Structure 1
Amino acid sequence: MTLHQPIHWLGGFIADLPTPFDDDDRVDWPAFETLCEHQIRSGATAIVVGETMGEDSTLGRDEHEEIVAAAVGIARGRVAVIAGAGSNATSQALELTTAAEAAGADAILSVVPYYNKPTQAGILAHFQAITNVTGLPVILHDVPARTLREISDETIVRLSESKQLIGLKDASGSVARLLRLKPALPPTFRFLSGDDATAPIYLASGGDGCISIIANFFPELCRSIYESCMTGHMPVSDGSPARIAALATVLSADSQVAALKYGLSLLGLMKPAVRLPLVELGDDARKAVALAMTALCEDEAAADASSCRLAMS
């Protein structure tokens, strides 16, 4: 793997891994290793840790650093480790970034500052400060539904003047934005969807990949869809994109993190435990997740995958 050339590994479906907890609300390290190995065995080129699905806002600083370091140790260069390192306080984002670099991460994923609603000038200065303190590649994370601020096209173009700014995770689901920005940015800049439901369309329109929740469950199926899209043959006839969209919709209907963890518990990969203020799913939501996962398991492409090796109730 040539980590100094992210174009070789920053693409396809990249799982945003959850942080598993044990019955005492501590990080479940054996389960975390299982999740990492599950992705590595599937042929993933990268994993994301300590970000949205990792419940980063409830992790202590020491826990966050330990998670990044553990992922690096488990990966042993077999996949790239992208560390979540975002905050709505620039000083804290800088600390998380430098800590991730010290722990051996290959890149950072840094979210647009949330809650305090910075202007575009503030967003620009925030990310410029981050690129100034690290030698790591930086991926922007734009998720307006959570941050209440979208990073503008102009700001992205200005930030791309830094060679360290290598990509965008766009959770808006906007294909139009991809088509607007792609001609204005360097050819090595990577466009990643943050929305599983529209990811196949995003890929077919020129996107490079998806930082994904669904890839936690079905990495082989996601890789198959990616490869089909890259060869110009969007896989619509087998219904798998529709089933992925259906599962993504179910996951978004309640707490995405709780739904992800419950689904992974059905596969025997971790416990469904979450940290307050999140709570575990109720019975109806659990049934909906199980039904949507079963529909994907019945897909021919997923049926041969190790993800479906266990019966789900």
Structure 2
Amino acid sequence: MKSLRGSFVSIVTPMQGDGAVDFNALERLINWQIEQGSDGIVTVGTTGESATLDDAEHCAVIRETVRIVAGRVPVIAGTGANATTEAIHLTECAAKAGVDACLLVTPYYNKPTQEGLFQHYKAVAEAVDIPQILYNVPGRTCCDMANETVIRLAKVRNIIGLKDATGELGRLPALRSRLPEGFLLYSGDDATACNFLLAGGDGVISVTGNIAPQKMQTMVTAALLADEPTARRFDQQLQGLHKQLFIESSPIPSKWALHKMGLIPNGIRLPLTWLTPASEASVAQTMQQAGIE
């Protein structure tokens, strides 16, 4: 199995002005990401607007991502849903497409108990024999996966990791000391990712990596090598982006920035809207500060 440690970009899904998925732009974007040094691609995650893609589009984007990447780096597909049957279906689709692993967000809106979360993830893992990564982002889902639930799920053979987007660094040592060797811990919060990695994390699944993949990869690599001065120097250069790429709901600012860089068209799907003029100057300024044209 390919190494799943390092700097993974939670890539946007390029769209035309009418909201149609732009597969040509997706190919350009993925090739640029790989050229810039990203260690892996996470497709149709939150940043990929998975919530507004129908099943056919979701699976098509996964298939095209695998085709374009052509084995150059690992591909992780977002296949989570708030219905267990739908999560199984999407995970089956991703496995058939040939991804290296799947990323499954906690069920949103229906607010399952911790036992419900355990049974949900266990059911998906038992139904589809592919490496699976848990994804905890309570700020979006209103569903927080407790450490104890993660520890229980880590005993399931093909559940191999956790993306933690809580930003709560205190969770990491408590998890690391009780998880099996080799269980992967990813930061899903760019602003605290450097500290997360220096404290024993294995990688980052990043929004900022969309805009600054090379610098993000340099920071992550340095942190994984325990080169704290280099990691912190690059992280400091990126802190403005970490903040401004969430000035409006993600991926609104990321898509605007990538469009400004000439990498994607100006398409996004309702209920998300294009970046407001009031926010453009702030995002543009932090791009300049980070050395991005």
TM-score, normalised relative to structure 1: 0.90
Deviation at 1:239, TM superposition (A): 4.4
* Aligned residue number for residue 301 of structure 1: none
* Aligned residue number for residue 123 of structure 2: 129
1:161–1:254 distance in 2 versus 1, CA, 3 Å: same
How far apart in 1 are the matches of 2:230 and 2:42?
Answer: 28
2:214 is the counterpart of 1:220: yes
Deviation at 1:253, TM superposition (A): 1.9
2:54 is the counterpart of 1:67: no
2:286 is the counterpart of 1:292: yes
Matched residue SS, 2:103: strand
Corresponding residue to 2:10 among 16, 21, 35: 16
Corresponding residue to 2:179 among 177, 185, 206: 185
Greater relative contact order, per chain length (Cα 8 Å cut-off, separation 6+): 2
How far apart in 1 are the matches of 2:149 and 2:36?
Answer: 36
Q: Is the 8 A contact 1:13 1:210 kept in 2?
A: yes
* Aligned residue number for residue 160 of structure 1: 154
* Aligned residue number for residue 51 of structure 1: 45
2:249 is the counterpart of 1:255: yes
How far apart in 2 are the matches of 1:57 and 1:229?
Answer: 32
Letter in 1 for 2:38: A
How far apart in 1 are the matches of 2:194 and 2:61?
Answer: 30
Alignment RMSD (CA, Å)? 1.4
* Aligned residue number for residue 300 of structure 1: none
Deviation at 1:226, TM superposition (A): 1.5
2:101 is the counterpart of 1:107: yes
How far apart in 1 are the matches of 2:194 and 2:225?
Answer: 12
* Aligned residue number for residue 28 of structure 2: 34
Deviation at 1:271, TM superposition (A): 1.7
Deviation at 1:236, TM superposition (A): 6.4
Q: How big is each residue's C-alpha offset from its partner over 1:35-88, in whole Å with a ceiling of 9 and x where there is no partner?
A: 111122123332101110010010011111110000110111111111110111
* Aligned residue number for residue 146 of structure 1: 140
Corresponding residue to 1:86 among 80, 86, 103: 80
Q: Is the 8 A contact 1:131 1:138 kept in 2?
A: yes
Letter in 1 for 2:131: P
How far apart in 2 are the matches of 1:225 and 1:237?
Answer: 4
Matched residue SS, 2:162: strand
2:195 is the counterpart of 1:201: yes
More displaced stretch, 225-234 vs 190-199: 225-234
Q: Is the 8 A contact 2:17 2:266 kept in 1?
A: no
How far apart in 1 are the matches of 2:32 and 2:61?
Answer: 16
Q: Is the 8 A contact 2:198 2:226 kept in 1?
A: yes
Letter in 1 for 2:25: A
How far apart in 2 are the matches of 1:218 and 1:247?
Answer: 9
How far apart in 2 are the matches of 1:295 and 1:45?
Answer: 24
Corresponding residue to 2:259 among 261, 265, 268: 265
What are the ranges of 5 or more consecutive residues in structure 1 without an aligned counterpart?
298-307
TM-score, normalised relative to structure 2: 0.96
What are the ranges of 5 or more consecutive residues in structure 2 without an aligned counterpart?
none
Matched residue SS, 1:151: coil
More displaced stretch, 25-34 vs 243-252: 243-252
Letter in 1 for 2:156: S
How far apart in 2 are the matches of 1:156 and 1:148?
Answer: 17
Q: Is the 8 A contact 1:235 1:241 kept in 2?
A: no
Q: How big is each residue's C-alpha offset from its partner over 1:215-252, in whole Å with a ceiling of 9 and x where there is no partner?
A: 11111111211222123222369743233222111111
Letter in 2 for 1:98: E
